[in-house]
Chain A
């Protein structure tokens, strides 16, 4: 995430915001990954191991276009989990 945005936050919230962002992003990517077929999963591994930045970006735009929606859903789930803790 852009550090300039995080710097706008007060320090008490900055670390929590960073942790939450990591958690939600990771879960959203995992869900998107599970929805892919084996061939695409293999392609993803190859690109992110040895591909260029442009190829990676293109892959994300083609195959992980719904990630924003997934992030919202994961955010709601995280909220429920925190409430139950």
Chain B
């Protein structure tokens, strides 16, 4: 009997339950048709945006201002890159180095101020903490970049449009700032030296001395030792060696010793200073041709060649310099180096052959055109006479450089004559530049290694 009652109770409970509980059931029972499929909302069709016209390829920058502006824009983009993780720091540093590589050949256009800004980017990356042993070696990159900029300043000394004193000051200030004051290696060596000089105080002081507050100075031996260790540690940095090479490069370009004397005095390592002075005396005694060849080697070793397509503008700039009637031998040296490099490659040789054949065709056609005989005579006269130097000693042409005393005693010479410029630096420079333009046009120089590895080697 109680079971029946329970059953009845259960029924009551079911009835009391809210209808919502049975709503699904009730719907299925009530609907006779098939359940309607749920409407899946389709995503709205993508809005048709007008396609932007494809960006034009980088036009060749012709003016120096445009070249500088281009590099400054690149620098801004790099400055905006994030630098929170190690990977980001590494990427930013590598991009900065690429920019420096591209900017170096044109540094003189803005007095190397843009390149100094790139160094501040590297400095900011270096100062980010915490520094770990596994951190990307930005200090080393910064040191290396500073050295390369200093070398380029020296190599572009002649074509740099500024007073000689100002140029030397800029070079000196740059080296002192980036290879001394802000150099991790130089400052590290100095800090280590200070640490060593404090050591005796910590180890040799007795308790009684502490009580009496007695000052203990390191003896002479300890001072000498800390100096020597610091000097050797500074070899990890590049300051003294950079100054030595920069002064040699300036001497190769016939710049008077008095103009960069202060730079040599900044060399702290006495051995390097003495060796540099000996080298400078040797360079001073060389002939012009020997100095030129040495300068070419220095350019190959320390300089940076511009990448395409900026090469054409670079050489157009050089033509302007040549037209100013001053024998800018560095421009010729740069042009020479381009031609030397072009010829080493096999494909470049083929292109050069092609160029040679075309030149001989045109020259052959020109010979068939009748011209007055006087033109031929004028041409031969110019070729013969223009090769002669104004000073002829003992009937022989010499390229020997006069000593400073002889130069001072010499009476004021006239301006270089028309003949000597046509057959001299102007004529030679013009032809070289023409050949290089043509090599570029025939893409012979394209076969050079375009992007140089960090270190300037090809």
Contacts and interface: CB of A to CB of B under 8 A. Distances in A.
Decide whether A and B are members of one complex: yes
Given A10-B339, A45-B374, A67-B418, A82 B359 contact: yes
B352 A12 contact: yes
Contacts, number: 148
B196 interface: no
Contact of B358 (A2, A24, A26, A82): A82
Interface of A: 1-6, 8-10, 12-13, 15-17, 19-27, 29-30, 33, 41, 44-45, 48-49, 53, 56-57, 60-61, 64-65, 67-68, 71-72, 75, 78-79, 81-83, 85
B399 A29 contact: no
Contacts of A60: 378, 382, 418-419
Given A13-B343, A60-B378, A61-B418, A20 B359 contact: yes
Nearest to A1: B423
A29 B387 contact: no
B386 interface: yes
B359 to A, nearest CB: 5
27 contacts: A1-B386, A1-B387, A1-B423, A2-B423, A2-B424, A4-B289, A9-B339, A10-B339, A12-B356, A19-B359, A20-B434, A23-B362, A23-B363, A23-B366, A25-B379, A25-B427, A26-B366, A33-B372, A44-B378, A53-B381, A56-B385, A57-B385, A60-B378, A68-B418, A71-B427, A72-B430, A79-B441
A70 B352 CA distance: 26
Which secondary structure dominates chain B's binding surface?
A: helix
Interface residues of B, number: 55
Contacts of B431: 1, 17, 20-21, 24, 75
Contacts of B377: 48-49
Which secondary structure dominates chain A's binding surface?
A: helix
B383 interface: yes
Given A1-B423, A13-B435, A22 B363 contact: yes
A30 B375 contact: yes
Contacts of B428: 1-2, 5-6
Given A19-B360, A53-B385, A29 B375 contact: yes
A54 to B, nearest CB: 10
A78 B434 contact: yes
B340 interface: yes
B67 interface: no
A66 B387 CA distance: 19
Contacts of B289: 4, 8
B430 A44 contact: no
Nearest to A26: B379
Interface in B260-297: 289, 292-293
Nearest to B378: A29
A85 B383 contact: no
